[in-house]
């Protein structure tokens, strides 16, 4: 995969959609490209969160622990970011991300991400806006789930 392909993948991530091209080039150039085989974990629930991953190709399951069993609660695929909370907070991973197919991802270390935000504050604004949208969607989903439980 070329730098231009990585740049295009970053541009397709909602969190980075409005970030300046020069900032995206720096992010693509300084990120580490990794390949995972089917069944391989990108990271596990409880791990120290030191980076986020942008999926360039392939698909992964988002797994949580339910009564001692791993349960897939979501899928992640091309042009999606996983583990981003770990680069913003000092919390352990809340889920395991496991490749379902061969998967290629860009690994963005926490220190690199913060350095870019310090140098390019408008990138931080875009990240905050995307996280706010996600929080709003999650709150709506929780409200709907609670309403369904109350109707029972």
For 95-146, the pLDDT digits (tens) are: 999 999 999 999 988 888 888 788 778 778 877 887 788 788 888 888 888 8
CA dihedral in degrees (132, 91, 72, 68; nearest 10)?
A: -150
Sign of the C-alpha dihedral computed for residues 80, 4, 8 and 18 taken in this order: positive
Q: Please count the structural domains in the chain.
A: 1
Whole-angstrom distance, CA of residue 151 vs CA of residue 146: 9
Q: Which range of residues forms the domain containing residue 147?
A: 3-151
What's the average model confidence in pLDDT over 42-51? 93
* pTM exceeds 0.85 for this model: no
pLDDT at 120: 78
pLDDT at 102: 98
CATH number at residue 100: 2.60.120.10
pLDDT at 1: 62
Which three-class secondary structure state does DSSP give residue 22?
A: helix
């Amino acid at each position: 995969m070329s730098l231009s392909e990585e740049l295009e993948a970053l541009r397709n991530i909602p969190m980075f959609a409005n970030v300046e091209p020069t900032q995206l080039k720096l992010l693509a150039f300084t990120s580490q490209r990794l390949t995972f085989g089917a069944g391989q974990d990108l990271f596990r629930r409880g791990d120290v969160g030191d980076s986020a991953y942008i999926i360039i190709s392939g698909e992964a399951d988002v797994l949580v622990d339910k009564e001692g069993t791993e349960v897939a609660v979501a899928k992640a695929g091309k042009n999606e970011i996983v583990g981003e909370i770990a680069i913003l907070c000092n919390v352990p991973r809340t889920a395991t991300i496991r490749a379902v197919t061969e998967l290629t991802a860009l690994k963005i270390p926490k220190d690199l991400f913060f350095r870019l935000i310090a140098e390019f504050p408008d990138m931080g604004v875009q990240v905050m806006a995307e996280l706010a949208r996600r929080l709003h969607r999650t709150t709506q989903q929780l409200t709907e789930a609670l309403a369904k439980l109350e109707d029972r």
